Amino acid sequence: MFITIINDCKSQNDIGRQETRLASLFDNCHISFVGVTSSLGSVPTLEASGNLIDVIDAAEGKKGIVIVNVAPRGEVKKDGTNGSSFCYFYYKETLVISTIKGYALSLIKKLKLVKNVNVVNVNEVLNDIVKLGLITKDVASKINNSQFRSFDFVPRLAYWLYNGVKIPSQTLSIDQISHPPSYIWLVDSFGNAKLTLFKDDLPLKGSPLKVKTNLGNFPFYERLKDVPDGETAIYTGSSGIGNNRFLEIATQNKEGSAERSLNIKVGKEIKFLNL
């Protein structure tokens, strides 16, 4: 049994509280934490979206839970009564609970991993749970008004769902989720940039294959190993799921790789130009 948290609340205090709450609810589980960029815009949700795909891929559909709570602030009219709405779905035997605002589920949509998600209303869930006698009204009120839902609400929701408690929800088609933009969703520890794109998304031309972008003209290689020393190129990376692997940009055998050579960061848009 595994639990993986993907969250932009990533101080040691935040991590410790979330992991401890989950450990107090689930016996004999391994908890992992993936911290993403903490900012007010949509960039953290792009990073969360790619990490979600990688975690689902790593789990290979086995029994476990992935919790994503990353959402842009502001635009409160698009929120639920207390922050972004949550949903849940299953990928094989893996339960995923996630916020739906921004791009957190956009790569789930692109990869067509599910057709629908189940959107929950926090107040409705808590009212039903009180009726079942699983929590008191006082506890429900505290949870409903909490500013730290990653600590107070989501771990309990995961526990109830995992144990077969019927949770009220509304079905939302994955088609209603925002489509992922052509962006960099992660710069790894080597400085290689992971994209929200696959090989089929590229307007490749020529022999050898090349693509022209707003960041420069790049040759395409199937593997990082094939990129010559000192060259900056696009290639098929390790992230993704099944046979669908995201593209990456790297500068081979250069300190800082593409991050330094191209001065790029998470959230940078990739635009294709005519060769």
Look at residue 81 and tell me whether its pLDDT is greater than 90. no
37, 146: one domain: yes
Boundary (domain end) residue, out of 121, 141, 176: 176
Structure confidence at residue 181 (pLDDT): 94
Lowest mean pLDDT among 14-23, 171-180, 265-274: 265-274
206, 151: one domain: no
For 132, other C-beta atoms within 10 Å of its C-beta total 11
Question: What order do you get walking across the sheet with 170-173 strand by strand?
Answer: 30-35, 2-7, 64-69, 94-99, 86-91, 116-120, 170-173
Phi/psi class of residue 257: alpha, beta or left (left: φ > 0; alpha: ψ in -120 to 50)?
left
Taking each helix axis from N to C terminus, what angle separates 12-25 and 154-162, rounded to the nearest 10 degrees?
A: 30
235, 167: one domain: no
Structure confidence at residue 74 (pLDDT): 61
| CATH code for the domain in which residue 13 is found | 3.40.50.10790
129, 36: one domain: yes
116, 35: one domain: yes
Structure confidence at residue 64 (pLDDT): 98
Token pair of 140, please? 């429900």
Structure confidence at residue 82 (pLDDT): 65
pLDDT tier at 275, thresholds 50, 70, 90: low
Count of domains in the chain?
2
Structure confidence at residue 44 (pLDDT): 92
Which residue type is seen at 197?
A: L
pLDDT tier at 274, thresholds 50, 70, 90: confident
| CATH code for the domain in which residue 218 is found | 2.40.30.90
d(CA 231, CA 251): 5
16, 80: one domain: yes
150, 204: one domain: no
Boundary (domain end) residue, out of 154, 176, 198: 176
49, 162: one domain: yes
254, 119: one domain: no
118, 200: one domain: no
pLDDT, tens only, 20-58 = 999 999 999 999 999 998 887 888 999 999 999 999 999
9 is in which domain, residue-wise? 2-176
pLDDT, tens only, 136-163 = 999 999 999 999 999 999 999 999 999 9
User: How does DSSP assign 123-136, residue by residue?
Assistant: HHHHHHHHHTTSS-
Contacts of 44 (CB under 8 A, 6+ apart): 8, 36, 37, 38, 70, 72, 102
172, 188: one domain: no
- pLDDT above 90 as % of the chain: 91
136, 259: one domain: no
